[in-house]
Structures are given as C-alpha cells and as structure tokens.
Amino acid sequence: MNKDIDNAISELNNTVDELIKSNEMKIRKTEINMTKNNTNKTMPLSENLNGDFCAKFSFGDYIRKGKDDFLKKSLSDSDDSCGTLFIPQEIALRINEKLKYLSPMRAIAKIVTVSSNAVELLTDHKMPDAGWVARHDGEREETDSPEIQKIKIPAHEIYAKPKVSQKLLDDSLINVEEWLISKVAEKIAALENDAFINGSGQERPLGFLKTESEEGESRNAGTLRHFCSGAPGAFTDNDSAINILIDMTCALRPIYAKNAKWIMSRSALAEIRKLRNQDGTLLWQPSFSEASPSTLLGYPVIIDDDMPALVNENESTSIAFGDFYSGYQIVDRQGLKILRDPYTSKPFVEFYITKRTGGAVTDFDAINLLKFK
C-alpha cells in the first residue's frame, strides 16, 4: 500500500515538473512574440535565443534531427511565411572568429556589420587649403575646397553547402557544431579572401588589386598608387629592388605608416628573401616567435596565396604595402542563415548556409601596389 502511494506521489511530481517546464516555454515564446509586435519586425535568432531557452531548443537538435523550434526568418524580406533559420549568435561569432584566422584580409582590414544591403561612405581626395593673413584689413583670397566622393559598398550573398550522412549525425559522440563551423568557415573564407584581393565588384566584393591605379604621386581621384619593378615577373637587380621597396615605404604618409603591412604571395616572398643590403645582411628578417611576425624594412610581412604568383616574364601585381585597416572596408550584413535539407541528397543531409558580405577600397592614399612589369 505504501509503495503504491509512493509511486503515485512520484508520478504526480513528474507531471507537475513537466507542466512547469511547458508553462515556462510558453511564457518565453509569448514574451518574444510581444517583442516582435512592439518592434514591428522579426527579431533574429542571435538576439533572442540565449541561456536556458537556447538549451531547450538547441541548435544541435536542429542539425541532428531537424527540430525547427527556432524563430524563423523568411528567405524574402517581404514574406515571413517560410524560410531559413538564423544561426545562433554564439555559433555565428565562432564562425566569424575562424574566418579571421583563415582569411588574412579579414585580419588586417576594417570590418563593419550593418543591417541593410549596402553601406555608403564619404571619402575626400583633396584636403581643404588654408593660408596666412598678410594684413588685418587685407583681402582674404579663396582657398581650395576638398573633393568629396561617395562610395557605396553593397553586401553580396555568399553561400556554403556542406553535407553529411544522417548516420553520422545520429552518432552522439560527434560534435556536430564544431564540424559545421569548420566546414562553413573553410568554404566561405576561401571565397571571401580571394574576392577582397581580386574581386571584380560584380556580384562579389571589389578587390584592391582590381581598383584602378596610376604611377606617380599625382594621380586622379579614386585611384591607388603603384610602382613598377622594371621587368615582367622579376626585379631588374638587387639594388633597384631595394630602392623600389624603400620608395614604397617612404611614399606612404606617416598617418598610415605606423600601421602599415606588406602582403605578398609565396613566390614573391621567395624573391624578397634573396635581397641583401650592401653589408651582406638580408633585407627580410625572419620571425623568432608567433608574437613577432617576419619583417621587411621594419614592417610586418603577411603571406597570402590569393595574391598573384610571381612568374618570370609574366606581368603581375604580387606585392602590396599599406595600412589596410584604413584603406580597405569589409561590410558584413548581420546574421548568418541556415537551411537543413534531408531530401535532395539522401542518405546525406545538406546544410545551405548563406551570408552577405562586401568590400572595397575607401582610402586611396593608404595602399601602394608593386607591379612587376
């Protein structure tokens, strides 16, 4: 008899606990819906799911089993009836951190996150002039005005589409989130970094190597400055190479020089490492620790294989020098989206992940190019 009473009490307690949890979830959903109605917009998942609520409807459950208890966002800005899910903020931040590690350009350029499809910036190509007053009652002549240009950087869509077998997803020992982060970051970083350097600006960012450039200090507005090596795919000789590299560093204004870096391909670095000063010491100084990078003329050297390779007798722009944080702007639209597709490639599950990003040169005095021609 006592045993039956104990079992009945235990079942009643379990029922009460489940009822409390169910009510908590309903209250939380109601609060989110009220917030959505007050702001008149669908709040992204990254801003709403955190703490216990995120644990109850975990992102891992969606990846493994397709549970879609997340807040949804439509594929179309005008239709919220069906669509993809926003990746939780914690996962998105980890993906972005890995993108910085895999993409050299993201590590040195300026990054801004926006909620629109594009960002507009104003740049000046000519500083306003000023002058001394010759006499207190003398006439003040008109001074030169600055030249202002508006730059619009649209955010273009980029996607990754990794897939995995459902059998692997069902394996509880596999860390699905880490796998997804790695796959997405690898695919997106490779495409992004190449576009930030070589992109045409059509349906992708405008790379700094595709930005118009001119030789010499006096050049048209909106163009970078470039130097010439004197030979296609090579330097003419050791001394001229050193002189050109010195000219590139000295041509940069002091405001940019303090944060300047070299970026080059591995084949270009191979030629740089052969250059020697008159006393026989190498112009390039290797790194002795991770905290201190290799340097060239005192400035850090970044190796990026998306920079054009240096091939003898082939013209290329394989080396750039400048303050890329001031000179190049990366624009990310807020939020990463994911769509789980278990039907197209059975028995595999595909994950269609999209994000929007753009980029362009915004300060044309901050970056110098070295053309091997």
Q: Tokens representing 157? A: 């869509």
Domain range holding 270?
Answer: 208-329+366-372
Please give the distance of CA 339 from its chain centroid, rounded to a whole number: 22
Asked whether the beta carbons of 135 and 335 are under 8 A apart, the reply is no
Domain tally for the chain?
Answer: 1
Domain-embedded: residue 117: no
Domain-embedded: residue 200: no
Whether the predicted pLDDT of 334 surpasses 70: yes
Whether the predicted pLDDT of 71 surpasses 70: no
What is residue 146's predicted lDDT score, i.e. its pLDDT? 67
Q: Which residue has the higher pLDDT, 142 or 80?
A: 142
| Whether pTM exceeds 0.85 | no
Asked whether the beta carbons of 343 and 126 are under 8 A apart, the reply is no
Whether the predicted pLDDT of 173 surpasses 80: no
Q: Which residue has the higher pLDDT, 32 or 313?
A: 313
Cα 161 to Cα 67: distance, rounded to the nearest angstrom: 19
Burial state string for 90-124 with b = 16 or more CB within 10 A and e = fewer than 16: ebbebbbebbeebbbbbbbbbbeeeeeeebeeebe
Cα 87 to Cα 362: distance, rounded to the nearest angstrom: 30
Instruction: Provide mean pLDDT across the span 185-193.
Output: 90
Cα 372 to Cα 244: distance, rounded to the nearest angstrom: 11
> Ramachandran region of residue 76, left (φ > 0), alpha (ψ -120 to 50) or beta?
beta
Asked whether the beta carbons of 355 and 111 are under 8 A apart, the reply is no
Give the DSSP letter of residue 312.
T
What is residue 177's predicted lDDT score, i.e. its pLDDT? 73
Domain-embedded: residue 252: yes
Domain-embedded: residue 284: yes
Domain-embedded: residue 152: no
Q: What are phi and psi of 140, to 5 degrees?
A: -95, 120
What is residue 28's predicted lDDT score, i.e. its pLDDT? 57
Tell me the residue type at 85.
L
- Give Cα separations from 345 to 165, 166, 297 (angstroms): 9, 11, 53
Cα 147 to Cα 22: distance, rounded to the nearest angstrom: 63
Whether the predicted pLDDT of 214 surpasses 60: yes
Q: What are phi and psi of 29, to 5 degrees?
A: -65, -40
Say if residue 104 is preceded by a cis peptide, omega within 30 of 0.
no
pLDDT digits (tens, 9 = 90+) for 217-249: 888 888 999 999 999 999 999 999 999 999 999
Domain-embedded: residue 62: no
Instruction: Provide mean pLDDT across the span 10-24.
Output: 64
Domain-embedded: residue 282: yes
Tell me the residue type at 69.
D
Asked whether the beta carbons of 114 and 334 are under 8 A apart, the reply is yes
Tokens 């990754």 -> residue: 160
Cβ neighbours of residue 88 under 8 Å, at least 6 residues apart?
Answer: 45, 46, 49, 54, 59
- Give Cα separations from 134 to 130, 138, 140, 143, 214 (angstroms): 13, 7, 9, 14, 38
Domain-embedded: residue 141: no
Asked whether the beta carbons of 105 and 196 are under 8 A apart, the reply is yes
What is residue 4's predicted lDDT score, i.e. its pLDDT? 67
* CATH number of the domain where residue 285 is located: 3.30.2320
Whether the predicted pLDDT of 321 surpasses 50: yes
